[in-house]
Amino acid sequence: MTSVAIVTGASSGIGAATARRLAAAGFHVLAAARRADRLAALVAGITAAGGSATAVPCDVTSDESVAGLARAAAGAPGPVTLLVNNAGGARGLDPVESGSIADWQWMYDVNVLGTLRVTQALLPALERSAAGTVVVVSSTAGLTVYEGGGGYTAAKHAQTAVAGTLRLELCGRPVRVVEIDPGMVRTEEFGLNRFGGDAAKAEATYAGVAQPLVAEDVAECVAWCATLPHHVNVDRLVVRPLAQAAQHKVHRVGR
């Protein structure tokens, strides 16, 4: 039977690229995100390329919406073997002393509690498959902190803690847990969302960086980890562009 992969945050960026890559690898993809129009276009593109996918509008901050995703998974055309917890994002770059409580709350709810809600809802199906994989797309921000990033790094550190704890708790059961931590990735919306739609600020993040990662690079990492023999568990994969040696060390041309 066709294996089913569920990808959250699939309406753009890493999520959309991951949905396309997994469909190309033979999965039937349940593409989940809030924006139904974006999902419809994604599924149409996957189908045109010979793949198989279903759009499932879902808000990971809503218990009811995530329950709907679980119902869609129960009606999918095969066993659910892969969950990619990709939904997330950043808001603001303010210091701790003046950070927006609302922005911090949103980042925690989407990145951490969203991962928790979806994983709890889909874990029974993943275990029934006897070959389940949970991929948590976190960030190098979950491994180290930086000025102005208190809210985002706190959320990503928490998401990393959830992944590590889950792996311990599932030991001996047929579900592996993979954490993927990208560094600098240039996508069409991440920076815009972080800076409230300010394109100049979003673009400045990548100034002078010849080749930041793109969404397809991370999607390739997800597909590689997910399609290894099931006894092989990549606990954590840290992936950065060549120009980024560390969170604080980036080579910028002309600087």
Residues that are catalytic = 152
| 134-to-36, 41, 85, 188, 212 alpha-carbon distances in Å | 24, 26, 7, 25, 26
**What DSSP string runs through the chain?**
---EEEEESTTSHHHHHHHHHHHHTTPEEEEEES-HHHHHHHHHHHHHTT-EEEEEE--TT-HHHHHHHHHHHHTSSS-EEEEEE----------GGG--HHHHHHHHIIIIIHHHHHHHHHHHHHHHTTSEEEEEE--GGGT---TT-HHHHHHHHHHHHHHHHHHHHTTTSSEEEEEEEE-SEE-SSHHHHHTTT-HHHHHHTTTT-S--EEHHHHHHHHHHHHHS-TT----EEEE--TTEEETTEE--TT-
The two structure tokens encoding residue 246 = 């560390």
- Beta strands 244-246; 249-250: pairing state: antiparallel
Q: What's the residue count for the chain? A: 255
C-alpha 196: how far from chain center: 21
